[in-house]
Amino acid sequence: MRQNRNMRISILGLLAAVCAPLFAQTPVHLRVDATDAPRRLFHVQMSMPVKAGPLTLMYPEWIPGEHGPTGPIVNLVGLKVQGGGKTIAWKRDSVNMYAFHVDVPAGVTSLDVAFDFISPPENSGFSSGASATSELAVLSWNQLLLYPQGSQPDDLQYQATLRVPNGWRYGTALPIAKESGNEIEFQPASLTTMVDSPVSAGAHYRTIDLGTDNGIPHYLHLAADSDRALEVSPEVIGEYRNLVKEAGALFGTRHYRGYHFLYTLSDHVAHFGLEHHESSDDRYDERTLIDPDTQRVSADLLSHEFVHSWNGKFRRPSGLISGNHDGGYDTPMQGDLLWVYEGLTEYLGEVLAARSALWTPEDYRERLAETAADLDNKFGRQWRPLEDTAVAAQVLYEAGSDYSDYRRGVDYYPEGTLIWLEVDVTIRQLSKGKKSLDDFCRTFHGGPGGAPALKPYNLADVVAGLNAVEPYDWAGFLNERLHSTSAHAPLGGIEHSGWKLVYDGERSDFWKAYEDAEKLTDLSYSVGLKVKDDGTIADIAFAGPAGKAGISPSTRVIAVNGRQFSATELREAIDRAVKDSKPLELLIKDGEYYKTYRVDYHGGERYPHLVRDESTTDLLTEIIAPKVKK
Ligand SMILES: [Zn+2]
């Protein structure tokens, strides 16, 4: 696969030599003025080499790592195109909203394009969601540039300068040419590298050295809404330094020149992580790194995104290579292998969080119990096989959170954890402890290392990679799990690694931290409700007692057995009903109407846990043990 790609590039190089001028020879000059970022406005000016004749300018649509057409075209405003000192009319394509047609007059060799980008205030979404506050901003270059249709992002060069508000500091993986005052001039970079290299900046900013390995540096750049949020303890910094070493031990080779975690800490930006080759755009609550409970529930965010540098950026399913070639960012992506791209990353990100001491072994097991219970109780398993959640990724990320266990969401993340754990355990058992999934990672994700590279794969490559580590019917193993419509989740990885999924009436510390972070009470496995602190029913278990009683999501619990709702009152009523034959009475407000529902449930509170099965060897503890001596 790699050889073909190199051939393609050399053929293009040849074409460039014979039919000049192509865009590759003169860089596009891009100036971004972010001094109005606190008002959520970014000003863009581009100067682009052109030839006379029809030209189509494209705004990136299919954003790498987001697996969908998420480019925020609706927030591009004030578009002006000029050439030879005169305004040139543009016309948006009637079908493709991301395409602008212009006719370049004879004699014009350079086009000046200007527009503004409105960074939205909403908290939802990914990089196109809220990205700027009065104190900080995250810049995604794909939102701040246009490119000529038909050009290859690998071959198109951009020379960018960026102005940030006075006094703001910044971090990025994009190589810098020089700085002066609040202006940064970057080295010329391909469009691929630009889109892959966001910048975080802010008034409250701290860069922490996470250590160098074979000359390759690692940094944690924190942009926060307050100075207090930057006061990370030496212990937490030590855990992230462990992460750098443990990832090196897992994969062997690093496919980057340096790695930059851009961690944005704010309650007013979208919360997510987006992977890049040499950085990640990670965003969570303002107090994440100074509040132990928030740190606990989010500890695998950075490890997940870091793993993507190997699994997702360097090795990528061929269907997810929009952008790098084959037509630029207007090429639709195909998500059918996201259970490898995201699922394996989810598994490894959690394992690395435990190996790095970001999680205790108990934290890891409680998260795994949560994942297993969630999937094992999904009503929608009986109509929707896991593979369909991956194929439908481009619409599922935006799906509502109501009736989620009937619909199924982007389940290839958590179910990827279960499947890859089972792969790991199976390799360990078949090889009698001599091999593990770590061996697969070292070969499948190995290579010369150094600068970012891309090595595409398909399902046959994954199967061949597994067979090279340990021969087995891996195609059959994977296909069975991908296409199953069994009512139950694949729990073989847990069971064969010496543990059992059980339920009891006690919430773990991990579960309490999750409920606090989400501001809800999760009674999914007992009465079948997830209730927010104000009584709003976030969701129901479709086949659970509350669902069977006719209660629907997005309504609101007003009273429990005649007394005003509170989370404590609801929990205690469930506990009292164990010894009471009367149903639970819930007064529910639905729009402007009130109705009492009787829920006949007497099983008490139930929360998932993993307990040791002494009849089986404990492989799980070995899997999550540190591999690097501390
Ligand atoms: Zn991911």
Is the pLDDT at 172 greater than 90? The verdict is: yes
C-alpha 350 – ligand 1 centre gap (Å): 12
Is the pLDDT at 178 greater than 70? The verdict is: yes
Tens-digit pLDDT profile for residues 124-167:
789 999 999 999 999 999 999 999 998 889 999 999 999 999 99
Higher pLDDT, 323 or 193: 193
Structure tokens at 172: 């990025």
Indicate the residue type of 432. K
C-alpha 486 – ligand 1 centre gap (Å): 26
**Any alpha helices (H) in 119-205, and if so which ranges?**
191-195
Which long-range CB contacts under 8 A does 564-569 form with residues at least 24 apart? 565/531, 565/535, 567/521, 567/531, 567/533
Q: What is the pLDDT of residue 157?
A: 97
C-alpha 342 – ligand 1 centre gap (Å): 5
* Rounded Cα gap, residues 575 and 262, in angstroms: 45
Q: What is the pLDDT of residue 4?
A: 29
Q: List the Cα angle 162/62/415 in 5-degree steps.
A: 115
Surrounding residues of ion ligand 1, Cβ less than 5 A: 342
Q: Are 200 and 144 in contact (CB under 8 A)?
A: no
The torsion region of residue 598 among left (phi > 0), alpha (psi -120 to 50) and beta comes to beta
C-alpha 272 – ligand 1 centre gap (Å): 9
Strand partners, 316: 456
Tens-digit pLDDT profile for residues 88-135:
999 999 999 999 999 999 999 999 999 999 999 976 789 999 999 999
The C-alpha R_g of the chain, in whole angstroms, comes to 26
- Provide the whole-model pTM: 0.94
C-alpha 413 – ligand 1 centre gap (Å): 8
C-alpha 348 – ligand 1 centre gap (Å): 11
pLDDT band at 323; cut points 50, 70, 90: low
Q: Which of 131, 129, 124, 171 is nearest to 39 (CA)?
A: 131
Q: Which of 126, 146, 125 is nearest to 60 (CA)?
A: 146
What's the full length of the chain, in residues?
Answer: 630
**Any alpha helices (H) in 104-219, and if so which ranges?**
191-195
C-alpha 473 – ligand 1 centre gap (Å): 27
Q: Which of 163, 351, 156 is nearest to 249 (CA)?
A: 351
Tens-digit pLDDT profile for residues 557-604:
999 999 999 999 999 999 999 999 999 999 999 999 999 999 999 999
Strand partners, 54: 103
Q: Are 386 and 481 in contact (CB under 8 A)?
A: yes
Count Cβ neighbours within 10 Å for each residue of 394-431 and write b for 16 or more, e otherwise.
bebbeeeeebbbbbbbbbbbbbbbbbbbbbbbbbbeee
